[in-house]
Amino acid sequence: MNPIQAVPYCAAYEFAEDDEAETAAGLRDTMLGISRKTWEHSGHGLRSVHAKSHGLLVAELTVRDGLPECYAQGLFARPGGYPAVLRISTTPGDLLDDKVSTPRGLGLKIVGVPGARVEGGEGDATQDFVLVNGPAFLVPKAKAFLSNLKPLAATTDKVPNLKRAFSALLRGTEQAIEAAGGESARIKALGGHPETHPLGETYFSQAPILYGRYMAKVSLAPVSPGLVALAGAHVDLAHKPDGLREAVVAHFAREGGEWELRVQLCTNIEEMPIEDASAEWRQDLSPYVAVARLRAGPQRGWSEELARLVDDGMRFNPWHALAAHRPLGSIMRVRKSVYAASARLRAERNGVELVEPRDIADVRAAAGVAGA
């Protein structure tokens, strides 16, 4: 592997957006409004976004040996193995029929990670990556994110039949765009995502993180034959409101799966900005390079007990991080307080205490994985 010329981190690459604190407060209010509305209808505390889980898995992350210096940073500075929990979801804050097809998300929590923590996470031993199946965020900064979120929040728990019909219309539109060689992240976000298998997707951090001395984006890509075969695979969701979950459970009842955790280092700060999360970093300037392998054996894939332990009992937040992997940029900065406030409200509603885990024996047992 030939090392590339990664750009060292400099504080000047980060700068606050105008009224960023006010934007963060607006996002908190909007997100908490979504959670309060779903609580009124369901009586259960849900996430403000990515409320519905389709897969809850346990896995083992193995850091590669012999990485070049620029990739051997933070968690990946030395070879080793760590237990991990995966939560596969879709983006809305309400529990919708899967026929309302939106982007897929994947939360990855790596447990038992030693090292200095970001401020506020002292004493924790986890490293989270919050990923979505698209390489760039829909908007560049937090203020635009708030502007986009407000009208969507107003539809929470409203007109589910209309949402299904609208999603079908948008899927047709997206299909036509892709047939012409294009793609629309906005149409996908609004409900026009193709009805594809979530286990075949490649997931991305979209916004950058600190990577030791450098800066990077992260992706998780399927590499085992069974998962690779699911890339772009259609899932029949007719009369199956939880069809994505059923598809994940069916796969892991038969076989496991493997992914590569990959890193794309910033090599050109003008072409690969920190403060514009909507900018897709060019892979001809810096390819995604595998730094670890994630393996999940056959297991239950989802259950009510797993949902209690993971959906209700865990938080997935990019600020559960080593100092060496501190989140960067406007979108990431506002996530810190917004995600924390949402998790506190959810825990209060459900009467649980959210504590970062130091082992996952209970989740292993619920997943039916040996070694619990």
Q: Mean pLDDT, to the nearest integer, of 276-283?
A: 96
Mind giving me the DSSP string for 195-260? -B-GGG--EE--S-EEETTEEEEEEEEE-SHHHHTTTT-B---TT-TTHHHHHHHHHHHH--EEEE
Is pLDDT above 50 for 236?
yes
| Residue 287, pLDDT score | 97
- Within a domain: 307: yes
Percent of the chain at pLDDT > 90 equals 81
| First-to-last C-alpha distance (Å) of the chain | 37
* Banded model confidence at residue 155, pLDDT cuts 50, 70, 90: confident
- What does the pLDDT average to over 152-174? 60
Q: Closest by alpha carbon to 209, among 292, 107, 321?
A: 321
pLDDT at residue 159 above 70? no
Show the domain range for 95: 11-367
- How many CA atoms, within 13 angstroms, populate the side-chain half-sphere of residue 1? 18
Residue 185 lies in a domain: yes
For residue 372, pLDDT beyond 60: no
pLDDT tens by residue, 45-96 = 999 999 999 999 999 999 999 999 999 999 999 999 999 999 999 998 888 8
pLDDT bucket at 158, cuts 50 / 70 / 90: low
Report pLDDT digits (tens) over 6-50. Answer: 999 999 999 999 999 999 999 999 999 999 999 998 899 999 999
- The yes-or-no verdict on residue 186 having pLDDT over 80 is no
User: Quick one: pLDDT at residue 84?
Assistant: 98
- Tell whether 53 is covered by a domain: yes
In a domain, 288, yes or no: yes
Q: Answer yes or no: is pLDDT of 170 > 70.
A: no
pLDDT at residue 184, rounded to an integer = 67
Higher-pLDDT residue of 326 and 372 is: 326
Gap between the Cα atoms of 324 and 256, Å rounded: 31
Work out the percent of the chain whose per-residue pLDDT is above 70.
90
Residue 73 located in a structural domain: yes
Q: How many domains, in total, are found in the chain?
A: 1
Q: Which residue matches tokens 């209309």?
A: 162
Give the Cα separation of 356 and 351 in Å (integer).
16
Averaged pLDDT score across all residues of the chain? 91
Domain of residue 334, CATH code: 2.40.180.10
In a domain? residue 17: yes
Kindly state whether residue 217 falls inside one of the protein's structural domains: yes
* Token couple for 2: 């030939």
DSSP 279-309: PPPPTTTS--EEEEEEEE-S-----HHHIII
Q: What pLDDT is stored for residue 166 in this prediction? A: 47
Spatial separation of the C-alpha atoms in residues 154 and 144, rounded to whole Å: 17
Within a domain: 372:
no
Q: Calculate mean pLDDT across residues 283-287.
A: 96
Once rounded to an integer, what is the mean pLDDT over residues 149-171?
A: 63
Distance of CA 257 to the CA centre of its chain: 18
Give pLDDT, residue 206: 97
Of 54, 50, 51, 52, the closest CA to residue 235 belongs to 54
Q: pLDDT confidence of 150, banded at 50, 70, 90?
A: confident
In this predicted structure, the answer to whether residue 316 has a pLDDT above a threshold of 90 is yes
* Amino acid in position 132: V
Distances (CA, A) of 233 to 77, 102, 197, 223, 308: 36, 15, 6, 15, 29
pLDDT score recorded for residue 172: 64
Give me 48's structure tokens.
């403000």
Provide mean pLDDT across the span 253-268.
98
